[in-house]
Chain A
């Protein structure tokens, strides 16, 4: 009865014809124009930074000719070289520690139903919904009250604290979609719980862990606010140096630094995309992050 009632609608010829005809909103010219303008807005400053990092003149307004002098100046400056090294060091240590802590936390939280799990979930949310300056001030007063002198160590501690949440969110997303069946199968086959985690869960989590590690490295390497509140006198990470340089007179070296940092971050992302492919996996870390992973 209902089938009969629907049939005339389905068979209605003019509507089928209308569906095939090109409709004006299928050629969204206005949308593409807006998108184009936004891309221009996003890329104009990047273009300026990269272009003027190769400028032979001091000017930030006119491009006089190609030269590498700002890069030479960067590498000739011992403090800046040291800062680059410090930034890389901070990002590397932060990545290792935060990835380990965040991954174990994610494992515990998504597999345990205890009250500790709910509490940890709440704890995790705080860093994600507070602006960085709050985290900076809290870390600053903590170290001051404990009498710990600010140094590279304090920066690393602050960065790890902030990064655990990101790792945990990424890894938990993956764990939730994985389910617990494969772990249970491993246990049925006689594995101890720890063996099941090490031999079954972790290998399956690997793309998510790599994605999280990449995210942490890039965020830590680029971070200014937290570093600003927790840095000692020397050595200072690169973004803190940039900040003082911006306040006390500016040199085009800034553009060279910006371009170099771009290269480092891009290399890390390329690694996160390339490494799984090299190891024969179909999904890259970036695919996991952007939610385009295959499962």
Chain B
């Protein structure tokens, strides 16, 4: 079949994406350079101060905090997700499919509802605290909510599956004979893991960290429900500019900053690790 025949298939979806994704980003750039007018709208112009505001000492900590929380989230997800993926892939036996399916099951409960369930569990008079105080570990309830720990915990809870699945997939794809070979070459279990298994699953690890880090940076639900103003992330700040503060240019500038930062991050991260195909 000719190329011209197939090319026609690209246009409906391609044009849709062009109009509803690329054009809006262009509009967001224009708005970020405009300024608020007295009618509650935006006058286009060339005002770069909104980008200056984003890096202002008042707001820069919010950006740094978002990146920090997201990085911590990705690290924790990797730390606890890898052993789980490894355990299921190597020792899950016939129940592998069920076990990996169960990992995804919590995703069927709405993100807001399951994050809120943590509020009920972690509140001062919540279940976790009643267990802690009843067992006499501490006499006073531990404050979990409104701490960075709670926000990062909520993010880990929200995105852990995105780490486990790609790692599991790369472990599945790996030939188990390689591990046997490593042992036959007198590698200790530890050596075999670091020299054989880990390099083989690196694509999964890379995909997982990107898949967790990206949405975590832009998340605002976890910080909104489990944290407080001291733990607000860039997502909360953006959301406020559009609903409440009505400062669209600043909100748009923050969004563009976030996008450029993440684009650069993905590009550099994948280039540094030499795996551009990891996302595809």
Contact = CB atoms under 8 A, between A and B. Distances in A.
Nearest to B103: A42
B258 interface: yes
Interface residues of A, number: 92
A52 B120 CA distance: 11
B109 to A, nearest CB: 5
A258 B113 contact: yes
A241 to B, nearest CB: 10
A272 B212 CA distance: 26
Contacts of B111: 222, 224, 239
B178 interface: no
Interface string B102-123: 1101111111111011101100
B262 A129 contact: yes
B62 interface: no
Nearest to A53: B113
Contacts of B142: none
Nearest to A25: B189
Given A131-B214, A131-B219, A112 B113 contact: no
A34 B100 contact: no
B178 to A, nearest CB: 15
A72 to B, nearest CB: 19
B10 A109 contact: yes
Nearest to B116: A246
Given A258-B113, A261-B110, A123 B225 contact: no
Contacts of B219: 131, 133
A185 interface: no
A41 interface: yes
Contacts of B102: 39, 42
Contacts of A123: 14, 17-18, 21-22
Contacts of B112: 224, 239, 242-243, 246
Contacts of A168: 13
A280 B253 CA distance: 53
A107 B105 contact: no
B218 A134 contact: yes
B87 A34 contact: yes
A206 B85 CA distance: 30
A6 to B, nearest CB: 13
B1 A105 contact: no
Interface in A104-136: 104-105, 107-109, 111-114, 116-117, 119-120, 123-135
Given A32-B87, A129-B279, A142 B24 contact: yes
A46 B14 contact: no
A290 B160 CA distance: 17
A88 interface: no
B68 interface: no
Interface of A: 15, 25, 28, 31-32, 34-35, 38-39, 41-46, 48-49, 52, 60-61, 101-102, 104-105, 107-109, 111-114, 116-117, 119-120, 123-135, 137-142, 145, 157-158, 160-161, 164-165, 168, 183-184, 187, 193, 196, 218, 222, 224-225, 228-229, 238-239, 242-243, 246, 250, 254-255, 257-259, 261-262, 265-266, 269, 290-292
